[in-house]
Amino acid sequence: MKRNTTAIEIARMLRKKSTKAEKILWNELRNRKFNNLKFRRQHPIGKYIVDFYCNEEKVIIEVDGQIPQLQ
């Protein structure tokens, strides 16, 4: 990975390399399936990239598990 890779580029790579647990949870959160709330996946917030983020409720969800290898 390049040293000057932006958080947005890293988030895009993480979306492509989701873990099994993230895929399962995303299937339940996407398209406002959960309480009609809009969630974003692998969302940059400052210097962090959170697994799932709901701006309406200011909720962050982090899923434990293996960290995908980025290249």
Query: Average pLDDT, stretch 17-33?
Result: 94
Task: Note down the domain range covering 28.
Answer: 7-61
Q: Is 12 inside a domain boundary?
A: yes
Q: Is 70 inside a domain boundary?
A: no
Measured CA to CA, the distance from residue 55 to residue 52 in angstroms comes to: 10
What is the total count of domains within the chain? 1
Answer yes or no: is pLDDT of 68 > 70.
no
Query: pLDDT value at position 4?
Result: 58
Q: Is 38 inside a domain boundary?
A: yes
CA 14 from chain centre, in angstroms, equals 7
Token pair of 49, please? 């990239």
Cα–Cα distances (Å) from 45 to 11, 16, 20, 58, 60, in that order, read 10, 19, 23, 12, 10
Q: Is 71 inside a domain boundary?
A: no
Q: Is the dihedral of CA 45, 9, 71, 29 positive or negative?
A: positive
The pTM is what? 0.81
Q: Is 67 inside a domain boundary?
A: no
Q: Is 29 inside a domain boundary?
A: yes
Altogether, the residues listed in the chain come to a count of 71
Answer yes or no: is pLDDT of 3 > 70.
no
Q: Is 1 inside a domain boundary?
A: no
